[in-house]
Amino acid sequence: MAERSAATLDGTLGFELIEAGEELARGRFAVTDRVRQPMGIVHGGAYAAMAETLASATTYMHVAGDGNIAVGQSNQTNFLRPVAKGTVHAEARRRHRGRTSWVWEVDFTDDEGKLCAITRVTMAVRPAPES
């Protein structure tokens, strides 16, 4: 689960998926100009994108065997503390696993372990389209 393909948003922003269990997922990204907004801090969209990456990849890994896909349905992020340097660490916990949706809560921390942002992501679970 190394860095994602450079051809994707994940790769462009330098996201790393570290762990993807059924109830817990972890990832991180370096704070570089790719993820900063004009004021020099991490852009809110980077948090939202990382949260959806963790929720999407992990949910999909666990529903694909049943012929399903997972797609983002809702993504709500609260920003608590600015981060201007270092690494942003993400830990996603599954809060609900239903037949048609999974809900994840993601905590983002800086290198000192301080909480920077929190996100709730709802994934829709649907039958995979026929090829």
Task: Please list the active-site residues.
Answer: 52
Say if CB 15 and CB 32 are below 8 A apart: no
Sheet of 115-127: strand order equals 16-20, 24-30, 87-97, 101-109, 115-127, 68-79
Distance between CA atoms of 110 and 47, rounded to whole angstroms? 12
Closest CA to 121 of 54, 60, 64: 54
Distance between CA atoms of 79 and 76, rounded to whole angstroms? 10
Say if CB 61 and CB 17 are below 8 A apart: no
